[in-house]
Protein backbone atom coordinates (compact mmCIF):
# COMPACT_ATOMS: atom_id res chain seq x y z
CA UNK A 1 0.00 0.00 0.00
CA UNK A 2 2.77 2.41 0.96
CA UNK A 3 4.72 1.31 -2.11
CA UNK A 4 1.77 2.18 -4.34
CA UNK A 5 1.54 5.66 -2.82
CA UNK A 6 5.24 6.23 -3.42
CA UNK A 7 4.83 5.10 -7.02
CA UNK A 8 1.93 7.54 -7.47
CA UNK A 9 4.05 10.38 -6.03
CA UNK A 10 6.93 9.45 -8.34
CA UNK A 11 4.54 9.38 -11.32
CA UNK A 12 3.14 12.79 -10.27
CA UNK A 13 6.65 14.26 -10.26
CA UNK A 14 7.23 12.76 -13.72
CA UNK A 15 4.15 14.59 -15.04
CA UNK A 16 1.13 12.37 -14.30
CA UNK A 17 -1.89 13.61 -12.37
CA UNK A 18 -2.81 12.71 -8.77
CA UNK A 19 -6.27 11.95 -7.50
CA UNK A 20 -7.90 14.30 -4.98
CA UNK A 21 -7.70 11.64 -2.29
CA UNK A 22 -3.96 11.20 -2.88
CA UNK A 23 -3.43 14.97 -2.72
CA UNK A 24 -5.18 15.04 0.68
CA UNK A 25 -3.05 12.16 1.95
CA UNK A 26 0.08 13.90 0.69
CA UNK A 27 -0.88 17.11 2.47
CA UNK A 28 -1.59 15.28 5.74
CA UNK A 29 1.31 12.80 5.93
CA UNK A 30 4.80 13.93 6.91
CA UNK A 31 6.32 10.72 5.55
CA UNK A 32 4.77 11.29 2.12
CA UNK A 33 5.93 14.92 2.17
CA UNK A 34 9.49 13.76 2.82
CA UNK A 35 9.20 11.25 -0.03
CA UNK A 36 7.89 14.05 -2.27
CA UNK A 37 10.92 16.21 -1.40
CA UNK A 38 13.34 13.32 -1.96
CA UNK A 39 11.86 12.46 -5.35
CA UNK A 40 12.10 16.09 -6.44
CA UNK A 41 15.72 16.21 -5.30
CA UNK A 42 16.49 12.98 -7.18
CA UNK A 43 14.89 14.41 -10.32
CA UNK A 44 16.90 17.62 -10.01
CA UNK A 45 20.10 15.62 -9.66
CA UNK A 46 19.31 13.49 -12.71
CA UNK A 47 18.50 16.57 -14.82
CA UNK A 48 21.54 18.41 -13.41
CA UNK A 49 19.33 21.25 -12.17
CA UNK A 50 20.69 21.50 -8.64
CA UNK A 51 21.48 25.00 -7.41
CA UNK A 52 25.12 25.86 -6.62
CA UNK A 53 24.44 26.02 -2.89
CA UNK A 54 22.09 23.28 -1.75
CA UNK A 55 20.24 24.49 1.32
CA UNK A 56 19.55 21.50 3.50
CA UNK A 57 18.78 22.41 7.07
CA UNK A 58 20.96 19.92 8.89
CA UNK A 59 21.10 22.02 12.04
CA UNK A 60 17.35 21.81 12.58
CA UNK A 61 17.37 18.04 12.03
CA UNK A 62 20.27 17.57 14.43
CA UNK A 63 18.62 19.79 17.05
CA UNK A 64 15.39 17.79 16.74
CA UNK A 65 17.30 14.51 17.10
CA UNK A 66 19.10 15.82 20.19
CA UNK A 67 15.81 16.81 21.77
CA UNK A 68 14.51 13.28 21.26
CA UNK A 69 17.54 11.79 23.02
CA UNK A 70 16.96 10.88 26.68
CA UNK A 71 18.94 12.88 29.21
CA UNK A 72 21.51 10.94 31.18
CA UNK A 73 21.79 11.88 34.81
CA UNK A 74 25.14 11.60 36.52
CA UNK A 75 25.14 9.49 39.69
CA UNK A 76 25.62 11.24 42.97
CA UNK A 77 29.18 11.03 44.21
CA UNK A 78 30.09 10.29 47.75
CA UNK A 79 33.31 10.95 49.59
CA UNK A 80 34.27 7.26 49.46
CA UNK A 81 33.92 7.02 45.70
CA UNK A 82 35.95 10.17 45.08
CA UNK A 83 38.75 8.94 47.35
CA UNK A 84 38.77 5.58 45.58
CA UNK A 85 38.93 7.19 42.15
CA UNK A 86 41.76 9.49 43.23
CA UNK A 87 43.73 6.49 44.56
CA UNK A 88 43.17 4.64 41.29
CA UNK A 89 44.39 7.68 39.36
CA UNK A 90 47.58 7.84 41.43
CA UNK A 91 48.21 4.13 40.86
CA UNK A 92 47.63 4.63 37.15
CA UNK A 93 50.23 7.42 37.14
CA UNK A 94 52.81 5.26 38.95
CA UNK A 95 52.49 2.27 36.60
CA UNK A 96 53.31 4.21 33.39
CA UNK A 97 56.32 5.74 35.16
CA UNK A 98 57.75 2.30 35.92
CA UNK A 99 56.81 1.14 32.43
CA UNK A 100 58.83 3.95 30.88
CA UNK A 101 61.66 3.30 33.30
CA UNK A 102 61.69 -0.34 32.20
CA UNK A 103 61.78 0.67 28.56
CA UNK A 104 64.76 2.95 29.18
CA UNK A 105 66.48 0.12 31.05
CA UNK A 106 66.00 -2.27 28.15
CA UNK A 107 67.26 0.31 25.67
CA UNK A 108 70.34 0.99 27.82
CA UNK A 109 71.15 -2.71 28.17
CA UNK A 110 70.84 -3.25 24.41
CA UNK A 111 73.14 -0.28 23.78
CA UNK A 112 75.69 -1.59 26.29
CA UNK A 113 75.60 -5.07 24.73
CA UNK A 114 76.12 -3.52 21.31
CA UNK A 115 79.14 -1.50 22.45
CA UNK A 116 80.72 -4.52 24.14
CA UNK A 117 80.05 -6.71 21.10
CA UNK A 118 81.66 -4.20 18.74
CA UNK A 119 84.71 -3.92 21.00
CA UNK A 120 85.06 -7.71 21.16
CA UNK A 121 84.71 -7.95 17.39
CA UNK A 122 87.49 -5.40 16.89
CA UNK A 123 89.76 -7.28 19.30
CA UNK A 124 89.10 -10.60 17.51
CA UNK A 125 89.81 -9.09 14.08
CA UNK A 126 93.08 -7.53 15.21
CA UNK A 127 94.27 -10.80 16.78
CA UNK A 128 93.33 -12.77 13.63
CA UNK A 129 94.95 -10.31 11.23
CA UNK A 130 98.37 -10.40 12.89
CA UNK A 131 100.25 -13.48 11.79
CA UNK A 132 102.82 -15.12 14.04
CA UNK A 133 106.38 -14.09 13.35
CA UNK A 134 107.84 -17.50 14.02
CA UNK A 135 106.18 -20.52 12.45
CA UNK A 136 107.07 -23.83 14.05
CA UNK A 137 105.95 -25.93 11.09
CA UNK A 138 107.64 -25.11 7.81
CA UNK A 139 105.27 -24.62 4.88
CA UNK A 140 107.59 -25.50 2.05
CA UNK A 141 109.18 -28.50 3.72
CA UNK A 142 112.33 -26.70 4.81
CA UNK A 143 113.09 -24.27 7.58
CA UNK A 144 113.41 -20.63 6.62
CA UNK A 145 115.12 -17.93 8.67
CA UNK A 146 113.07 -15.86 11.12
CA UNK A 147 113.76 -12.62 9.27
CA UNK A 148 112.32 -14.12 6.10
CA UNK A 149 109.12 -15.13 7.90
CA UNK A 150 108.73 -11.62 9.36
CA UNK A 151 109.11 -10.15 5.90
CA UNK A 152 106.54 -12.50 4.42
CA UNK A 153 103.97 -11.62 7.09
CA UNK A 154 104.64 -7.94 6.50
CA UNK A 155 104.29 -8.49 2.76
CA UNK A 156 101.00 -10.33 3.30
CA UNK A 157 99.69 -7.46 5.36
CA UNK A 158 100.70 -4.99 2.65
CA UNK A 159 99.02 -7.13 -0.02
CA UNK A 160 95.83 -7.27 2.04
CA UNK A 161 95.85 -3.49 2.43
CA UNK A 162 96.47 -3.03 -1.30
CA UNK A 163 93.61 -5.38 -2.13
CA UNK A 164 91.31 -3.48 0.22
CA UNK A 165 92.31 -0.18 -1.40
CA UNK A 166 91.77 -1.69 -4.83
CA UNK A 167 88.28 -2.89 -3.86
CA UNK A 168 87.45 0.55 -2.44
CA UNK A 169 88.69 2.26 -5.62
CA UNK A 170 86.58 -0.06 -7.76
CA UNK A 171 83.51 0.70 -5.65
CA UNK A 172 84.13 4.45 -5.88
CA UNK A 173 84.66 4.18 -9.65
CA UNK A 174 81.44 2.19 -9.98
CA UNK A 175 79.55 4.87 -8.02
CA UNK A 176 81.03 7.62 -10.19
CA UNK A 177 80.17 5.77 -13.41
CA UNK A 178 76.65 5.18 -12.19
CA UNK A 179 76.30 8.86 -11.30
CA UNK A 180 77.55 9.93 -14.74
CA UNK A 181 75.11 7.55 -16.44
CA UNK A 182 72.24 8.84 -14.32
CA UNK A 183 73.14 12.43 -15.24
CA UNK A 184 73.23 11.56 -18.95
CA UNK A 185 69.85 9.86 -18.73
CA UNK A 186 68.42 12.80 -16.84
CA UNK A 187 69.74 15.27 -19.42
CA UNK A 188 68.36 13.19 -22.32
CA UNK A 189 64.99 12.93 -20.60
CA UNK A 190 64.80 16.67 -19.92
CA UNK A 191 65.75 17.55 -23.51
CA UNK A 192 63.15 15.10 -24.82
CA UNK A 193 60.51 16.66 -22.59
CA UNK A 194 61.36 20.20 -23.72
CA UNK A 195 61.27 19.11 -27.38
CA UNK A 196 57.90 17.43 -26.84
CA UNK A 197 56.52 20.53 -25.13
CA UNK A 198 57.80 22.71 -27.97
CA UNK A 199 56.11 20.45 -30.54
CA UNK A 200 52.85 20.54 -28.60
CA UNK A 201 52.95 24.34 -28.47
CA UNK A 202 53.52 24.53 -32.23
CA UNK A 203 50.48 22.35 -32.88
Residue 10: exposure state from Cβ atoms within 10 A (0-12, 13-18, ≥19): middle
- For residue 36, which of 6, 65, 67 has the smallest C-alpha distance? 6
Q: Report the distance separating Cα 87 and Cα 89, nearest Å.
A: 5
Q: Report the distance separating Cα 43 and Cα 45, nearest Å.
A: 5
Q: Are 25 and 5 in contact (CB under 8 A)?
A: yes
pLDDT tens across the length of the chain (203 residues): 668 888 888 888 777 887 888 888 878 888 888 888 888 778 877 887 776 665 566 667 777 888 888 877 766 666 566 666 766 766 666 566 666 777 778 888 888 888 888 788 777 555 555 555 555 555 555 555 555 555 567 788 888 899 998 998 888 888 888 888 888 888 888 888 888 888 888 86
DSSP class of 64: H
Amino acid sequence: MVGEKKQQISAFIDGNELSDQMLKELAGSNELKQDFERYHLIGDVIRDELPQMLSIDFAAKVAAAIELEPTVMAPKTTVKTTVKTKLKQKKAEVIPFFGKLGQYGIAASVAAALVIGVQQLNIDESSNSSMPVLQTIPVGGFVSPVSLQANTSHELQQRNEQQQRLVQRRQVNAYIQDHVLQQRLKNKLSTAQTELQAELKQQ
